[in-house]
Structure formats: structure tokens, C-alpha cells
Structure 1
Amino acid sequence: MTWLYLGVWSALSVANTALAAVQQPAEQAQWQLSGDAFQCQLQQQISGLGQVRFILNPGQPLQLQLSLAQPHDALEQVSVAARGADWQAASAQWLTERYVAELYHHSQASFIKAALPLLQQIQAGAWLHFSVGNASVERTLLLSSTHPARAVADFQGCVAKMAPLSWQQARQHELYFNTGRYQLDAEQLQWLGKLARYIALDRKVTKILLDGHTDDVGTTLANRLLSQQRADEVAAQLLELGVPATMLEVRAHGNRYPLQQSRGTAEANNRRVSLRLIRTTELAGANKP
């Protein structure tokens, strides 16, 4: 997010000009990386104004965010474009497509569509040109960059180590099966690989509940055995992926807990293994995804 402090914006208002501009001094145009497995940020502080940042969380799109320190009456429409750096050739003094922020929240404006193409432009040496305004007033910010290619490469390195799922995606999931089958398909195996990676990174996860289910076609005993096979198959795959056996709790329910009442028909929603992660908040210093 771009944090633009109210003091400077107030000064610009006092100036009583139709267009007021602020340019980040070159000696302060350093991108700073921060992050862990559950968030990566590439941010730049702006003296007297605040901060601009690219931010990525697992399972979410990349965002470029701009925020004022306090709500400001000019935050009705915020746009941004890439512009050639002053040190580049005159032919590079272009403006790319101008993007309008999709999300506004109090003092924040967030760009989603613009984030990736603008990050790529920064990597090539471009600067960011923000416009903040309403019907009567426009104020601009020109954000320069120092060593942008290295900064973006560091951000990409952080992203490569990020968890493949968010907590909301990992905490509960259903794997569905064909009639009478317990084998996992390629898509399910890929998802379990992501889940195992998430579990390895989130130290708050203490247990994984695996509940096998069937539809109500067939005998009670056959369904109970099939639901056990399905849950065991998922557990075996997680073990192979490095999840400790002590974290797994496997239960077989047969057709006792249908998601959809089927009255003797083979309802696909009932042929499943439900996975649910249990977390504790008691681990001091644990990750906060």
C-alpha cells in the first residue's frame, strides 16, 4: 500500500493550485523487502508522505496499495501508470496504460489489475506516477526507484518460498471419489502436495482430521470398509509427503453422515474424505498466516 501522510497533502491543499506534484527524492527511492511464508511485501517509504507497497498473500492476487495516514477528502479516485525514468532516453519518457484503483477503504486505495504489469515495468527501470483527486483537485506523486531489478528479484525470491495455500483454503477441504473407488486422481494428489507444504510451514497446526464417507448404495459393512480405505489412502499420501503420523487422526463413517440425502442412490457429494486442520494459538512466536 502507498502510505501518504496527511501533513504534506494538507500543505498541497493550502497551495491552492489545480495540480500539485510530489516527487520521491532519488536518494530515498529504495525498495525494501519484508515477508515470510505467509506474506511478501515490497515497499518504499516516502519522506513526509508514507509508503507504497506491493503485497502478496497466499491464495490472493498481487496488490499494489496506496494509503493515506488519515482519511482525506481527495481520495475519491486514485490512478497509477508507469513512466520512464528521468535517466532513461527521451524516447522512454512514456506513460503506460493508466489504471484506476479497484478497492477503496478509508485512507487506502488498492490496485489489482495493475499490480503485476507495473511490477514488471519497475523491474525494467520505470517509475510510478500516481494521481489522487476528485472532481476539482488533482495531486500527483512520482515514485522513483533505485536498483529496481534487484528489488523485484528479491521479491520474487520471497514469493517462491511462500505457502501455496491460505489458512482459509487449507483449514477444511473435501476430496470426492467415484463410485466404489478409493484411489486419488492427479488433481487430488497435487492439492495434497500443497496441503503438506502448508502444514510444514504453519507451526500452529497440531492435528489433521481425516473422515471417510460413502454414499448409501451397498451394505453398511461394505460402506464402512470403503470409507476406511478412502481415509487411509489420503493418510498414506500425506505420510509420504512428510506429514508426521502423530498429526493424523483417521475415522471411517460409512454412509452415516451424508451431505445430501440420497435414498439409495449414488450421490457424488457423499463419496468423500473430509480434511480438517486443527490449530493451537498457544505457540509463542508461531507464524501468523
Structure 2
Amino acid sequence: MAFSLHKHTLSLLGALALVSGVPLLGHAASYGAGIENSQWYLAESIFECSLVHEVPGYGKAVFRHQAGESLSFFLESDHPMMRPGRGSLVVEAPAWRPGVVPRPLGSVNVSDGNRPVLLDTRQAMVLAQGLLEGMRPTVTRESWFDGSPVRVQVSNINFSGQFERYRACTANLLPVNYDQIRRSRIPFNSGSASLSGADRKLLDNIVTFVLADSTVERIFVDGHSDRLGSRIDNRALSEDRANVVAGYLKARGIPENLIIVRAHGDQFPVSRRPADNRRTTIRLQREGERPEFQQANGYGGESAG
């Protein structure tokens, strides 16, 4: 009777572990979707493409490509299951393909937080290739609870069709993302207010983004100069630098009412090097963001924009 009760208790605990996603002490835990519940979902826009896979009991596996950046892959879980440290990444065959030798891809860093595993572009591409070949990439690391192995498997079922859509999405991404251009800087030569080819390329990327993102409500354009020469001349030169940038943005289609132009002369140096202070800065502000006005103190700060 006691043996029967013990078996019943273990079965109940095992069922609870599967439901909760928490492994039993002393037992290896494997998480992965089967044929019946393996799905991939594509979230697509011109700002980001994400291919998301639900891993039952664990969380999510995500391929992500943000505008202006490279492909990445991460595992996401609301509950920490793996102990931080070095884990292993192996591409192995699913159970219905016996005899196929697993292919180790090296170690991965497992960190704290809700995204414990983050792979760079090279590893993410190798992982995607393994899925396209019908394999199951698997991350293994010791558990938080007792050091027993935790295995998270990424299923290849229903992957290939969605991956083709994902690749088509990435081909239409914007050249930059908001974080890359929300604060930008145009440098100038001494006494000059002329734009270079590199400056125009940066401004073209800003224009492309702003015209695509309707939530951008302000563009602050601030001209600056070094402290060589008179303050009156420096003020005029900083105004010319701000106006040449604002004029370029307007000529490329940015509405004039979005742009706020300011000239500061030599008031707000950011460095002791004169070349660093000959600049125009561009700062974007989205709806709901708190307006900023930061004044430089000595060499350590930057004026608004």
C-alpha cells in the first residue's frame, strides 16, 4: 500500500512539474514542443521582424532582426530555470530520426534575467540552418534548483515556411532604428558650414525613418562652434550650421513644423578639442517622451539636442 501511494505521489509531482515548468529536484528537465504543438509566429514591420516559437513549460525562442542591426536569437522565460554560467548548444536530430549524430556548436553564456540566452549573428544563423535541415537545436545548462540538467529544445516543425516569410520581412526593414538616430551629430571643419557625403547619408537615414514613424513629433537641430574667434562670429557660424542641416531635412520632405532650430555659438563645449565642438546635433522626440533641455556645464555635457 505504501509503495502504491509513493508511486501515486511521484506521478502527481511529475504532472505538476510539467504544468508549472519547474523541474523536480534530482531530475533532468527537458522543454520542447512536439509535432502536435510546434508553432512559429511572425511579427513583421518595417522597424523589426521577429520569428517567435513557444516552448511549452519554458517560455519562448525568438529570432529577432531590428532595423539597422544584425540577426540575433534569444531564449525568454518568466521564471529562472538555468543557473548563470556556461551552457552547451548542440544541434541534434528529433526522436523520429534515430542514428543522426548530434553536432556540437560550442558553449553559450547563460545569464540572469528573463532572457538568459542571447546568441550573436553567427550562432543565430547556424541555429537557423540546423532548423532548416530538420534538426532540433538544444541548449543545456544546470538548473537553479539542484544542478541537474535543464534542456531547452527548439523545434523545427513548421519552421521553414515561416522563415521564408521572415527573410522577406528583413529585406524591407528601414536602414536604421530609433535608438541609432535619436541623437545624431554632424561635424564641421573650422569656419565651415558645408555637409559632406557621409553627413548627407546620415541625414537621409534620419529622413527615411522620420517619414516612416508617425510618432516622431519634434526634431531639435542645434548648431555649435568652437571658441576660436569672436563670440559674435561663432554665434553666426553655429546658426549657419544649424540652418544647413535643417534646410537639408526640409528639402528631403520633413515638414517644417517638426523642426526646431537653435544656435548656441561656443556656449556649450563638449571637449577641450576645438574639432569636437564644431558640430550640429539632431535629436528626435517621440510622442509621450518627456521633453529634455540639458545645458552643458564645462566639458562634460551636451546642450539640448
Q: Same fold (TM over 0.5)?
A: yes
Which of 223, 227, 249 aligns to 2:260? It is 249
1:8 correspondence with 2:18: yes
Question: Which AA in structure 2 matches 1:8?
Answer: L
Q: CA deviation at 1:33?
A: 0.7
Q: 275, 278, 281: which is aligned to 1:268? A: 275
Distance 1:50 1:136, change over 3 A: closer
Native 8 Å contact 2:186 2:281 kept in 1: yes
In structure 1, which of residues 29, 35, 44 is the aligned counterpart of residue 38 of structure 2? 29
Give 1:200-215 correspondences, 5 Å limit.
200-215=211-226
Offset at residue 177 of structure 1 (A): 0.7
Q: What pairs with 1:1-289 in structure 2 (closer than 5 Å)?
A: 7-8=17-18, 13-14=23-24, 16-17=26-27, 19-58=28-67, 62-72=71-81, 74-77=82-85, 78-84=87-93, 93-105=101-113, 107-113=114-120, 114-134=123-143, 136-260=147-271, 267-281=274-288
CA distance in 1, matches of 2:79, 2:216: 37
Secondary structure class of the residue paired with 1:154 = helix
Check conservation: 2:223, 2:265, Cα contact below 8 A: yes
* Structure showing greater Rg: 2
Aligned residue-pair number: 269
Residues 218 and 284 of structure 2 are in contact (CA less than 8 Å); yes or no, is this contact kept in structure 1?
A: yes
% same residue: 25
1:7-56 Cα shifts (integer Å, max 9, x gaps): 42868844854x45455212332321114344332111234443222234
Q: For the Cα contact (< 8 Å) 1:63–1:110, is it kept in 2?
A: no
Contact 1:65 1:108 in 2 (8 A): yes
**Cα RMSD after superposing both structures:** 3.2
Q: Do 1:124 and 1:148's aligned partners in 2 also have CA atoms closer than 8 Å?
A: no
* Higher relative contact order, chain-length normalized (CA < 8 Å, sep 6+): 1
Is the 1:208–1:278 contact (alpha carbons within 8 Å) kept by the matching residues of 2?
Answer: yes
Helix, strand or coil at the partner of 1:104: coil
Contact 1:104 1:110 in 2 (8 A): no
Judging changes above 3 Å, is the alpha-carbon distance between structure 1 residues 186 and 220 closer, same or farther for their aligned structure 2 residues?
Answer: same
> Matches of 1:236 and 1:46 in 2, distance apart?
51
1:217 counterpart SS class = coil
Gaps of 5+ in 1: 1-5, 283-289
TM-score norm. by structure 1 comes to 0.77
TM-score by length of 2: 0.73
Q: Which moved more, 1:178-187 or 1:220-229?
A: 220-229
SS at match of 2:165: helix
The 3 A distance-change label for structure 1 pair 149 and 15 is same
Distance 1:144 1:214 in 2: 57
Using a 3 Å threshold, how does the CA distance of structure 1 residues 231 and 123 change in structure 2: closer, same or farther?
A: farther
| Amino acid paired to 1:75 | R
